[in-house]
Amino acid sequence: MLSTRFLWRTVGLAAFLSTLLCIFGFVYAINQIMFPKKAGNMGVAAPQETVKPKESSFAAKDKIQIVALGDSLSAGTGDLSGRGYVGQVKEKLEKQLGKPVFILNNFAIPGFKTSNMLKDMEEKKGIDTALSQADLIVLTIGGNDLFEGGQGVFNGQSDESFNPGAALERMPEALKRLELILDRVAKLNPTAVICYVGLYHPFLDIDPNREGSPIIQKWNMSAFEIANRYPNMVVVPTFDLFEVNLSKYLYTDHFHPNQDGYERIAERIAQVVK
């Protein structure tokens, strides 16, 4: 009789404790739902906040001012309309943004190499002033360092096969100067959108083994690594724009884009800064 009474007391106590435990768990769960606590450092990473991409600074502006720098590509050599990619970017952005777009200055000079551009920026103080006032800065440089307008990239006067070694030898020093140029531009105007227009391979049709393509890609990747240090700087790729139907988009000098070629570059820039 005693053992039976003890058994029932044990069962009753266990049921009572179980009921208390369920009530406590229920109250704790409700409390956590209504008053959640921040997760501590318990070896499980807390969810990270989603960082929204920075909106284009163009949206808040009444007008957009463009400053261009560089070589014959920014000067528009080969475009018989005289607009080049800079003029066509102006037109496209006006339609795209629905506001006035002005070319404040175009300092590009045909034949310029990175060394010429650095010297020009050091000697002409007006360049710094214009850059500091720009909303969009576009520049092309490096093609003449590698290709020298077609000189020095061929095996010889009697042999016009492409010689990529000549371009490769000039690349390291040219990239150092490109780094100085982009750093200077970024520091002069840390809020402007800065577009460095990448290189394409103008001698693709006389380079059957495509030996020059990896060299151009190496330059463009190095430029990307430099530009990636600055939040408002981008490299605008153009290599793919001239891979197919090259002659359709090049001027008769077989080096510069024609009007259609510049239009493709301008469209790419307009897409990037949209």
193 has which bridge partners? 136
Tell whether 18 is covered by a domain: no
Q: Is pLDDT above 90 for 22? A: no
**Number of domains within the chain:** 1
Tell whether 263 is covered by a domain: yes
| CATH code of the domain covering residue 103 | 3.40.50.1110
Q: Calculate what percentage of the chain has a pLDDT beyond 70.
A: 74
Q: What is the structure's pLDDT at 271?
A: 93
Label residue 38 exposed, middle or buried (CB < 10 Å: 0-12, 13-18, 19+). exposed
Tell whether 215 is covered by a domain: yes
Structure-token pair, residue 170: 């000039």
Q: Is pLDDT above 60 for 220? A: yes
Task: Calculate Rg over the CA atoms of the chain.
Answer: 31
Q: What is the reported pTM?
A: 0.77
Q: Which of 187, 185, 217 is nearest to 201 (CA)?
A: 217
Sign for the CA dihedral angle at 218, 237, 117, 228 comes to negative
Which amino acid makes up residue 106?
A: N
Tell whether 16 is covered by a domain: no
Tell whether 27 is covered by a domain: no
CA 66 – CA 87 distance, rounded (Å): 10
CA 85 – CA 203 distance, rounded (Å): 20
Domain extent for 148: 63-272
Q: Is pLDDT above 60 for 17? A: no
Tell whether 49 is covered by a domain: no
Tell whether 107 is covered by a domain: yes
Which amino acid makes up residue 273?
A: V
Q: pLDDT tens digit string along 162-197?
A: 677 888 899 999 999 999 999 999 999 999 999 999
* Confidence band of 209 (pLDDT split at 50, 70, 90): confident
Range scoring the smallest mean pLDDT among 92-96, 138-142, 161-165, 226-230 = 161-165
Q: pLDDT tens digit string along 72-127?
A: 999 999 999 999 999 999 999 999 999 999 999 999 999 999 999 999 999 998 99
Please list, in sequence order, all residues whose beta carbon lies within 8 angstroms of the beta carbon of residue 273, skipping any fewer than 6 positions away. 56, 58, 93, 136, 193, 195
Q: What does DSSP say about strands 154-156 and 159-162: parallel, antiparallel, or unpaired? A: antiparallel
Tell whether 31 is covered by a domain: no
CA 248 – CA 29 distance, rounded (Å): 70
Contact 89, 65 (CB under 8 A): no
